[in-house]
Amino acid sequence: MIALLIKGSCTPRMKLRKLSLLIAVAIALTGCNPAVSLRPLPAADEKPVAEPKVEGEWVSGTKDEVELRWKVRYKDGHYLTELRKRPDKDGEEPDDVDNFKVTLVRWEDKLFFDAELLESQSGGRTIRPDDIGLGMTPVHMVGRVWLHPDYLRIAMLNSEWLKNHSPEEFRAMVGSTAVITASTGDLRQLLLQHAEDHDVLPYAWYLCRPGADCAILAAEDELAHEPNEPDTLRDVARVFNMRGDYKRALALLRHRAELQPENESSREDLAVALLFTGDFAAARAEFAAAAKLGTNDQLEQVNIGWTYFMEGNYKQGEKAFAGQLAGRKPWVESILLDYFSLIRLGRVKEAQALLSKQTAQFAGKTDDHKLLLEAQGRLDEVSPWQSEEPQTEARFEYFFALKLIAEGKPDFGKIHLESALKTAAKDTVLALAVKIELERLPAN
């Protein structure tokens, strides 16, 4: 449901105390917990605002993965907005449709909105505010809109900020949601006073024109608003990395590491970005720095081993992995990459002895046992690596491909590497390792 509904037969404070369980916030829409208001944003005598730039069709999500579709049309001083989820995998239109009335308010050069639920259709049922109960009053979602040629940026009020920075006379808390009980005038004053304050209006989401790369547009916009916010730098860098713009991602993560030099995650993410630009030595240095800052240095040591393997320096890689296997509970990646490093160094008997010993004494997850048994050729050939988790399946495909390549079957190895590339998350070390192995295969 896109609105908040509260019993309307008593004072605002009594409503909230007695009927807090009736609140349904637009968390599914925004992925956050915005504040809402008992009072409308437009004044009773205010002239309606028409803004043709908001009309038409919009999508939320990315160019390749549209999550929500919007239709906006002007009628009688308001905008009627229809919201639908994307079709399912079979192309079937979802039953869920939300319709709400949006009123625009312009002050100075800024545009604000007030949204009320009209009806919500789900599972063949239609629910309207009047259906909830006699005397129920819709609660308003309010916020600011920024207009751009190919997208809209929409932000709403921060419940946590209101909890900490506004008096109880202004709002009440229902769970973690701030419900503004103040007058329309006080609400307007708050929004105008804090219109540029990201702490007050942090919950931004984006509506883009169909066909636009919404992820890139949103990333650039967020970066413009928060160029020195570490979390924003990380999230935006991931978008660029997913689009193959590795240099831009690296620059952002380098800046993040400069802002947080003692943060393990910042140094580790910078190391991964360096891998994608081919700077293996610098990546190793960052992984080593992360190991000194964190509590789990084994992960960083495994990553250092990965850098050698991807670089093709199997001699140093084998040393790194052998060191990880000594005196600690081994990771399956260390065992297998040590094994394949030895294979590629021509030390086949040593590799087989290592794999046999480590498999016999390995204590770990079932999927990890399967990987070791598959490397030994002890599993059935009926796709034992299939998994409902894409990253797990990509991992199986990758190591199975290494086995096929070691057996002199590069053509079959290529098939499984290509399958792994389709399922692996594009910004992970595994995805990069798959790409490197594909590039190493001889041309047909």
pLDDT-based confidence at residue 112 (cuts at 50, 70, 90): very high
Least confident of 92-96, 146-150, 162-166: 92-96
> Would you state the pLDDT for residue 364?
86
Torsion angles phi and psi, residue 6, rounded to 5: -130, 145
> Would you state the pLDDT for residue 385?
58
How far is the CA of 354 from the CAs of 100, 337, 350, 357, in angstroms? 64, 11, 6, 5
> Would you state the pLDDT for residue 326?
83
Quote the radius of gyration of the chain (alpha carbons, Å).
28
Terminal Cα-to-Cα distance of the chain (whole angstroms): 56
Q: Indicate the DSSP class of residue 210.
A: T
If you classify domain 270-440 with CATH, what class do you get? mainly alpha
Task: Classify strands 125-127 and 78-85 as parallel, antiparallel or unpaired.
Answer: unpaired
Question: Where are the chain's structural domains?
Answer: 4-214, 270-440
> Could you report the per-residue pLDDT of 245-292, keeping only the tens digit for each?
999 999 999 999 999 999 999 999 999 999 999 999 999 999 999 999
Question: If 0-12 CB within 10 Å is exposed, 13-18 middle and 19+ buried, where does residue 138 land?
Answer: buried
Per-residue pLDDT at 26 exceeds 50: no
> Could you report the per-residue pLDDT of 207-245, keeping only the tens digit for each?
999 989 999 999 999 999 899 999 999 999 999 999 999
Q: Indicate the DSSP class of residue 54.
A: G
Are the C-beta atoms of residues 253 and 234 closer than 8 Å to each other? yes
Please name which of 8, 74, 75, 70 lies closest in space to residue 38, comparing C-alpha atoms: 8
Q: What is the mean pLDDT of residues 35-51?
A: 91
Residue with tokens 């990395």: 241
pLDDT higher for 422 or 28?
422
